[in-house]
Structure 1
Amino acid sequence: MLKIFRATAILEGISYLLLFGMTMPLKHWADIPEPNQIVGMAHGVLFILYVVVAIVFCRERKWNLKRFTMLFIASLLPFGTFYADKMYLKELA
């Protein structure tokens, strides 16, 4: 489960950066909305997957609500999932 969660966290973080770092500027500044639609959908799916896998992972590890909350907040911040991977998940691998 750890490998799945780490992979999901990294992919979610990459999709977040692509969405707000590349496709949003293309949509608003260059009037090219198509990449934003594709990456936005992928990011939405990966975000939901990340949260579901985080819940399962925390229950499996018997982690408390505080750790889950930290993982959830990490998904809302740019580079947050990379930080969570380094601080909470990498040490378990």
Structure 2
Amino acid sequence: MTSLNTDPATGAGIAATPRSLYRTLALAEMVTWTLLILGMVLKYALKVGDGPVQVAGMVHGVVFVSYAVTAALVGVNQHWPPGRIAGAVATAVVPYATYPFDRWLERRGHLEGGWRRERTDDPRDSSWASGVLRALLAHPVALAAGLAVAVAAIVAVLLFLGPPSQWGR
């Protein structure tokens, strides 16, 4: 099976493995939680104004959405059931929960293997989601650009909607 991290024509490395991509975003999510918490301490305890929370909040929001998109992408690639994908996304809501979940996935082998660019005999490779994923993985640069646009669009919509506490108003 060819993986996204190896170009089938040249054998050159071209992208991260599902494990490394997921782990990078899980750790980034924890770092941005720290920045957001520090921003809140600066705002509320040290009374330095809204700036630190606005900056850290934006960074955290972008990383949160990126983590959620990555969890979905990796989850489809790894044939996770929908509940596991939802669980991965839910861990980003709780400060520092992405890393223990990452370790749990690792211990159970749920991050093993490369990108699934080719259909196998595994019946799960027959799903429409796996087919779409394989088509996207055939064009990794376009996939990365599309994911960046999707993250930007989601963040823009969330910024337009405002804080969740104001959604029902």
Give the secondary structure class of the aligned counterpart of 1:76: coil
Please report how far the alpha carbon of residue 71 of structure 1 lies from its aligned counterpart in structure 2 after TM superposition. Answer: 0.6
Shift, 1:35, TM fit: 1.9
Rounded Cα–Cα distance in structure 2 between residues aligned with 1:3 and 1:62: 17
Amino acid at match of 2:70: V
The letter of the residue matching 1:27 is K
- Residue type matched to 1:74 in 2? T
1:61 counterpart letter in structure 2: Q
TM-score (norm 2): 0.50
Pick the structure with greater CA Rg.
2
2:83 to 53, 57, 66: 66
Match of 1:34?
Answer: 51
2:82 maps to 1:56: no
CA-to-partner distance for each residue in 1:39-60, whole Å, 9 max, x for gaps?
1111000000000011111111
Q: Which has the higher helix share?
A: 1
Task: Determine whether 1:2 maps to 2:2.
Answer: no
Q: Which residue of 2 aligns with 1:25?
A: 41
Gaps of 5+ in 2: 1-17, 113-169
Give % identity: 27
| Aligned-partner Cα distance in 2 for 1:89–1:70 | 15
Deviation at 1:17, TM superposition (A): 2.4
Equivalent of 2:63 in 46, 55, 61? 46
**Structure 1 counterpart of 2:99:** 82
Q: Which has the higher contact order (CA 8 A, sep 6+)?
A: 1
Deviation at 1:29, TM superposition (A): 2.2
Name the aligned partner's letter for residue 39 of structure 2: T
Q: Is 2:32 the counterpart of 1:15?
A: yes
Unpaired runs of 5+ residues, structure 1, are: none
- Tell me the C-alpha RMSD between the 2 structures: 1.6
Q: Is the 8 A contact 1:74 1:83 kept in 2?
A: no
